[in-house]
Chains A and B, each alone.
Chain A
């Protein structure tokens, strides 16, 4: 039963992708219908898979040979992320019915979206590291194709290529990890190395651990790779909500959480993970304060919130990281789709031109404010509980206190930029003549469940912790009931300090006119922030070098048969020499 469900959850979106593409762009209604029905069906199968989460099944597709068997394990971590990918995926597809109406080449759009959803499910369910790498790369490719969906817009094409190249660096890290694992165990079994990290010598394990950290940082747009995500905002907004807020960027956090039991003993790994998370959270929050593009603010806040999750894994609380991942996926998808409704309505992304939109689009304002309050971390929305759990994890003995203080400051900054964003868009006086119309039916159908989810998913804390603790013995997650978790959060001193920090952030926005002098004193910082503190240049240089060297390498592709045969012969000689000399592992 579980086997069929897994195959269906991966297969249904892929089948839908083929059908949407085959339906042809002359039948847009059929394409909308096909995409919605297949993504919703995948969402249902993923939800049906959740009860199998604590049975610790292992589903094997025998392949044999060098690749090892293709194994899937529907454990707590996997089924929960698969459910997020498919359910939020189906909501994004429903939203697209309104958002993409009248666009050309819908087949390409829906085919890539559905292909992505299937690959994301495969990525989180498989326990074969090589297969995981394949799914990992499929998500990167579909993300590239969808960022550059409007391929007549040079900015969209550049953003897509940048995202592709930067995430490929991370992919290399994962590939190194997979090859190290294969070299030492003769297989790609993730569960084996998690159950017994001693399978690998310490040096090899360190290579794998830091390779996976690089992969996770690039995929989740963490320091120092954080600049591709804002540029990826050229994608259609449902794509930003699905891939660049709710699912693909979570893959990095998932990878760290999955391998946490294996890597926690590696010297310096946990500290490195915490530092990466903290720096991302801090830098992105500062950048969000000065950004003027609505979607870029949301992108920076995504980087910042992912920083919280990475920090939580480093601090040793996989549960807090995954719980915040759940909250963040729901409220950030809500914020992005809400922003999509705003952008669709007024036709611009620049917040300086908006203002006073709340009266014209009250429904969108309502759901957007709910999402914004959750992002700020105000009670009782889901973002509050999960963020406080992360901060509490930072208080555990052995974790540096100064990092926790930085994270508390970041929660104040979060409150500041969130309120700035909400105010600039929905309140105050209109700053430009904009014609706004309320969201369509399909948009409302997608937004309402997310708003309800933002208000309620924290009630799942107890069952979620039980699911994770039963299915992931190596992660050592303690099962608590919802009541216990809520009491724990409410009685922790750090919760009240965080609320005070959030209050300070709000007060700073309230008194922004009086604080303008201080703002001017920090204008240099603001300028540095809008240029991503120089990391923009580093990332751009990486992209340029890659493109230039690719251009140079193209000259080796002469298309001359005799030259190619010479290459073949040379490669053969090299391989024969290596085989004759014999090889040993480092």
Chain B
């Protein structure tokens, strides 16, 4: 049995998104949340490339993916910076103690 390339990519996409959502649902640590978001968005990016390939608009899909990479890097950087500040000001990275945004 041969597995085609699109099938492999779809499995990858679903896997990444699944892991990302699972992590977002379960984790309580701010840095892990940033990592989970990265996984989730990478899955979506892969889906964009695949969609471009399947509809014959490969260049569109890839350029969208590059845009997502850039935006996502910014998200990661700001998320980490936020985490550092939260740790300094509030003293913890546990999301349960951050619900009210109060010190």
Contact = CB atoms under 8 A, between A and B. Distances in A.
B96 A560 contact: yes
Contacts of A560: 95-96, 99
B21 A558 contact: no
Q: Is the interface of A mostly helix, strand, loop or mixed?
A: helix
A569 B99 contact: no
Interface in B60-103: 95-96, 98-101
A491 interface: no
Nearest to B40: A565
A284 B81 CA distance: 61
23 contacts: A558-B99, A559-B98, A559-B99, A559-B100, A559-B101, A560-B95, A560-B96, A560-B99, A561-B24, A561-B33, A561-B95, A562-B24, A562-B25, A562-B26, A562-B27, A562-B28, A562-B95, A565-B21, A565-B24, A565-B25, A566-B25, A569-B21, A569-B25
A520 B24 CA distance: 72
Nearest to A562: B25
A100 B25 CA distance: 53
Contacts of B28: 562
Contacts of B98: 559
Contacts of B100: 559
A185 to B, nearest CB: 31
Interface string A559-575: 11110011001000000
B41 to A, nearest CB: 14
Given A559-B100, A565-B21, A565-B25, 20 more contacts: A558-B99, A559-B98, A559-B99, A559-B101, A560-B95, A560-B96, A560-B99, A561-B24, A561-B33, A561-B95, A562-B24, A562-B25, A562-B26, A562-B27, A562-B28, A562-B95, A565-B24, A566-B25, A569-B21, A569-B25
A284 to B, nearest CB: 46
Nearest to A572: B21
Nearest to B27: A562
A566 B22 CA distance: 10
A566 B33 CA distance: 14
A14 B8 CA distance: 55
Nearest to B98: A559
A412 to B, nearest CB: 60
Contacts of A562: 24-28, 95
Size class of B's contact patch?
10 to 19
A24 B96 CA distance: 39
A560 B101 CA distance: 11
Nearest to A560: B99
Interface in A521-564: 558-562
B2 to A, nearest CB: 30
A558 B100 CA distance: 9
A571 to B, nearest CB: 13
Contacts of B26: 562
Contacts of B96: 560
Contacts of A569: 21, 25
Contacts of A566: 25
Contacts of A559: 98-101
A565 B20 CA distance: 11
A250 to B, nearest CB: 42
B103 to A, nearest CB: 15
Contacts of B33: 561
A569 B21 CA distance: 9
Interface string B8-38: 0000000000000100111110000100000
B40 to A, nearest CB: 10
A561 B28 CA distance: 8
Interface string A188-229: 000000000000000000000000000000000000000000
A569 B100 CA distance: 23
A561 B99 CA distance: 8
Nearest to B100: A559
A559 B95 CA distance: 9
Contacts of A558: 99
A52 to B, nearest CB: 45
Contacts of A565: 21, 24-25
A280 to B, nearest CB: 46
Closest CB pairs A-B (n = 6): A559-B99, A565-B24, A562-B25, A561-B95, A565-B25, A560-B99
A561 B98 CA distance: 10
Contacts of B21: 565, 569
A560 B25 CA distance: 10
A562 B22 CA distance: 9
A559 B98 CA distance: 8
A561 B27 CA distance: 9
A558 B27 CA distance: 16
Nearest to A561: B95
A559 B28 CA distance: 12
Contacts of B25: 562, 565-566, 569
B14 to A, nearest CB: 14
A229 to B, nearest CB: 38
Nearest to B26: A562
A566 B25 CA distance: 7
A565 B26 CA distance: 10
A324 B26 CA distance: 64
A44 B58 CA distance: 56
B102 to A, nearest CB: 10
Nearest to A565: B24
Contacts of B101: 559
A562 B29 CA distance: 11
A550 to B, nearest CB: 18
B12 to A, nearest CB: 20
Nearest to A557: B99
B29 to A, nearest CB: 10
A215 B28 CA distance: 46
A491 to B, nearest CB: 72
Nearest to B30: A561
Contacts of B99: 558-560
A567 B96 CA distance: 17
B43 to A, nearest CB: 14
